[in-house]
Copies of this chain bind each other. A is one copy, B any other.
């Protein structure tokens, strides 16, 4: 499967990584995560170049990783620094790939693409996870489904009425007008739902919200699958400042074509010291995400089997507009990345340079 490689993927929540060796698989690449003695997090290939043992079966010796099979040691830049065997000669090719890793918003962001394009400024804003005045709960779970069909799920909040019946359902969402906005590669799927019934989860949390409310659910998407939800309720006709809301982090990291790491958090701006609200949302999320959403998208994946989404010819409805845009935007980025990569390898070939000198007016696309 083609993944977008020039992208920051969340490899882990900050608290998941410490002085032990953590294994993740991101876009089918084996990844090793750990922290140096100074606390800085490191991401590198988890496959020893000698005999392909997973490095996380070894151990940390200071800031080096010792393979658990034959004791080769690798520094944080991926270079082999010790071969305990014989004369200790280290072949030049004995190194693992080290990946750029940035710690931001309590998350570890890894870059799988070309080093010269690894710009941390491209990481989308998830500052709600570390902002003052918010109380956050969160976690990660694995879903046996392709990440794009989970994106579809998240970009269409009308599923709440059916999938999350009795938890997050509200027909005010389904009946509201959907506004799809795109700015460069960022897409918003916004629903403003005035004077409607709040979802049961909101009701349960607040007695005074049993009556109709103004309700909003705004979802922001950045490629490849990074979503930020702004969802809240306010008294009918009142301003947002009079209401309560939370920011949902929904970041999807593909493990392989049919498995996804789902990093989520809820950061709320109300009753931030009340642990019973934490518990309430943790319980609701467990039902809504880990049972209901997971159940439906995994069933969808089973129905699709090994066939691709496009091959199956989905029939789209109005509510799919943001998801369709997201799929197209991502497809285009992946295509451009492949064209760029062909261009680059072409540019590196002397024969091609010659060809281009003589045919400089030929459209570059013809190279592909």
Which A residues fall within an 8 A CB radius of B? 30, 46-47, 49-54, 57-58, 66-72, 83-87, 89, 91, 93-94, 149, 152, 156, 158-159, 161-163, 171, 174-175, 177-178, 295-296, 299-300, 302-304, 312, 314-320
Contact = CB atoms under 8 A, between A and B. Distances in A.
Q: What is the total number of copies of this protein in its complex?
A: 3
A71 B161 contact: yes
Given A50-B314, A71-B174, 6 more contacts: A47-B303, A50-B317, A54-B299, A57-B296, A68-B163, A70-B162
Contacts of A296: 53, 57, 68-69
7 contacts: A46-B303, A57-B296, A57-B299, A68-B163, A69-B159, A83-B317, A89-B317
B57 A319 contact: no
A97 B66 CA distance: 50
A111 to B, nearest CB: 22
A51 B149 contact: yes
A205 B244 CA distance: 70
Nearest to A55: B303
A156 to B, nearest CB: 7
A302 B320 CA distance: 38
A66 B159 CA distance: 12
A319 B85 contact: yes
A30 B303 contact: yes
A85 B295 contact: no
Contact of A315 (B50, B149, B299): B50
Contact of A163 (B69, B162, B163, B315): B69
Contacts of A84: 158, 161, 171, 174-175
Nearest to A86: B318
Closest 4 pairs (CB-CB, A-B)? A85-B319, A86-B318, A49-B315, A71-B162
A320 to B, nearest CB: 8
A85 B158 contact: yes
B47 A85 contact: no
A87 to B, nearest CB: 7
Contacts of A67: 162
A327 to B, nearest CB: 12
Most buried by B among A51, A161, A304: A51
Contacts of A54: 299-300, 302-303
A143 to B, nearest CB: 15
Contacts of A83: 317
A86 B299 contact: no
Contacts of A149: 51
